[in-house]
Amino acid sequence: MPNSEANLEQLEVDFQARIDAEERIEPKDWMPEKYRKTVLRQMSQHAHSEVIGMQPEGNWITRAPSLHRKIVLLAKVQDEAGHGLYLYSAAETLGATREELVQLMHEGKAKYSSIFNYPTLTWADIGAIGWLVDGAAIVNQVALQRTSYGPYSRSMIRICKEESFHQRQGYEIMLKLANGSPEQKAMAQDALNRFWEPSLMMFGPTDADSPNSAQSMKWKIKRKSNDELRQAFVDQTIKQIEVLGLEMPSKDIKWNEERGHYDFGELNWDEFFAVIKGNGPCNRQRLAHHKKAHDEGAWVREAARAYEAKKKARAEKAA
Amino acid sequence: MTETNTPIVDYTIRLADDSLTLGHRLSEWCSNGPFLEEDIALINVSLDYVGRARMLYAYAAETENQGRSEDDICYLRDTREYRNLLINELPKGDFAFTIVRQFFVDTFNLLFYTELLNSKDSTLAAIAGKSIKETKYHLRRSKDWMVRLGDGTEESHNRCQAAIDELWDYVTEMFDMDELETGLAAQGVAVDRTALREQWQQIVKEVTDEATLTLPDHDIAIRGGRTGIHTEHLGYLLAELQYVQRAYPGNTW
Ligand SMILES: [Fe+2]
Ligand SMILES: [Fe+2]
């Protein structure tokens, strides 16, 4: 028997010691099965989010209001596809293929960020997504640059380099609208109001309602708690709302001298969980869209495989 | 009145419309590709085309000097005023259709921009220089896919052949010359398109042979883009492209 119980215990102690010493865990290293599963679930969910997130923004690529905006948005969404790729390959280091992970998502067994179940109804929503959704993603991903799993940490470092451009392009869209015609300003305000709460919920449930968080923090898969990250995002964003000259999206937002942070009131978590369960306006659409593209591409992938096989056979025959 | 009375501006707008409509069609592949790498590659090509369109519209706007911006030219003309070749506006179709169209147009563009590089108009020549670099990459991709799909499975072969048969109707228009372009070609500004046909045919034949595909021998030639007689598809493309500008006129974005 390779691992007696005592042996296993020792491995776990050593593992935790490595984590505590800020060492990175690499694919070939020993790791507790639950660590492997947690990291894999998180990376796969992250990868799916990057890819599903292409849809609400892609929804406006053909309708972007100027050539400049069209080009910037195309480049942005292209980056997100690239992020999906990095993350799928990071996930593959733990032995799950991209095909398998996608399959799990199609079966509803793997999640993606619930923020993408909200519709992009106006051009301002593209501004709000870049500014708020990518903004929230950055706060989260900056913390994850120091996550304990090496390949995940490295893909976060790579991704963060591209993210600030994403947030900036969104904020620029909002700036233009907020300083534009009354109709444009109203459009910006409406987008802010609709995306405010959902973007705060991207950090996940409150720490009190997040039972798995403690273990993830101990393993340094997560580096900061949901509430800490959310607060950091709120504090930075409120100042930006002021610069835009828009109204605050909630009457509960006010500076709390004592805490040294902005209060932002209770979030409507019932709605959050309802949307996760499938009550969002776009849940069904997002999955169906992804599945359709995947199914329609099957003959292309098959043709590429068939051609490679023929080529190989010909080369072998010639040799 | 759709032409501007300045041949160089009209010519530039034609080339811009060609790039824009095809770039727009390619952008429709975003999140719809057969796999993620292909989404990225198709967006890449789309970006090159839309970027080229933007440079050309900007040059047209500047040369025209009538207070129209690049976006005014792109977003505020209707179907009858658009001047792109029909092949560029056709719906994206399936992946085979997109690849065959890219292969036909990429091959054409490589020959076209190589000639335009010698244009006496230095801006067009500079845009051609950049376009050649991009097109070499585009063509390598579309050529590879032609061979893979043509010589892949029975289904990919059949889809590819169907796309060739359909797109063939729109090939001839790429090589048409009219008064405007003949005049500019005589001044050393525009490219003589008719002179490119033979070489185009040769390259396309070589690749389709390797891909075990056949070129049609009928001589149907659907034309009209340069005089604003389009397929019905362009109206929808423009309705989508121009929606925000039309719904909220006079704003900047
Ligand atoms: Fe991303
Ligand atoms: Fe992003």
What tens digit of pLDDT does each residue of A244-288 get? Answer: 999 999 999 999 999 999 999 999 999 889 988 888 889 999 999
Chains A–B, number of C-beta pairs less than 8 Å apart = 137
At residue A108's C-alpha, the angle toward residues A106 and A114, to 5°, is 105
What angle is formed at CA A56 by the lines to CA A51 and CA A57, rounded to 5 degrees? 85
- What pLDDT is recorded for position B2? 53
Q: Is residue B66 part of a domain?
A: yes
CA distance A105 to A87: 15
In this prediction, residue B1 carries a pLDDT of: 39
Domain containing residue B46:
7-247
Return contacts of B181-185, CB within 8 angstroms, 24+ apart: B181/B11, B183/B7, B184/B7, B184/B8, B184/B11
| Residue B253 lies inside a defined structural domain of this protein | no
Which chain B residues in 62-101 lie under 8 Å from chain A, judged by CB atoms? 70-71, 74-75, 94-95
In a domain, B117, yes or no: yes
Using CA atoms, how far apart are residues B142 and A61, in angstroms rounded to an integer? 23
Distance from CA of B160 to the nearest CA of A (A): 11
Tokens of B193: 């398109």
Tally: H helices and E strands in chain B? 11, 0
pTM: 0.96
ipTM: 0.96
Is B57 part of the contact surface with chain A (CB cutoff 8 Å)? Answer: yes
pLDDT at A149 over 60: yes
pLDDT at B54 over 80: yes
Summarised one tens digit per residue, pLDDT across range B88-142 is 999 999 999 999 999 999 999 999 999 999 999 999 999 999 999 999 999 999 9
Q: What is the per-residue pLDDT for A2?
A: 55
> Shortest CB distance from B243 goes to which of A61, A63, A74?
A63
Structure confidence at residue A281 (pLDDT): 87
Q: What is the mean pLDDT of chain A?
A: 95
| pLDDT at B158 exceeding the cut of 80 | yes
Residue-wise pLDDT for A47-99, tens only, equals 999 999 999 999 999 999 999 999 999 999 999 999 999 999 999 999 999 99
Residue of higher predicted confidence among B55 and B218:
B55
* Residue B151: inside a domain: yes
Q: What is the pLDDT of residues A276-301, one digit of tens each?
A: 888 888 999 999 999 999 999 999 99
Q: How many domains does chain B fold into?
A: 1
**A150 contacts A93 by C-beta, under 8 angstroms:** no
**Residue A227 corresponds to which amino acid?**
D
In a domain, B158, yes or no: yes
Contacts of B73 in chain A (CB under 8 A): none
Q: Is residue B1 part of a domain?
A: no
Residue B2 domain-assigned (yes or no): no
Question: Residues of A numbered 194-213 whose beta carbons fall under 8 angstroms of chain B's beta carbons: which are they?
Answer: none
CA A220 to mean position of chain CA atoms: 18
pLDDT at A141 over 80: yes
Q: Is residue B252 part of a domain?
A: no
A105-132 residue pLDDT tens: 999 999 999 999 999 999 999 999 999 9
B43 within 8 A of A70, measured Cβ to Cβ: no
CATH number for B95: 1.20.1260.10
The CA distances from residue A201 to A226, B104, B239, in Å, are: 9, 48, 36
Tens digit of pLDDT for each residue in B233-251?
999 999 999 999 999 999 9
Share of chain A above pLDDT 90, in %: 92
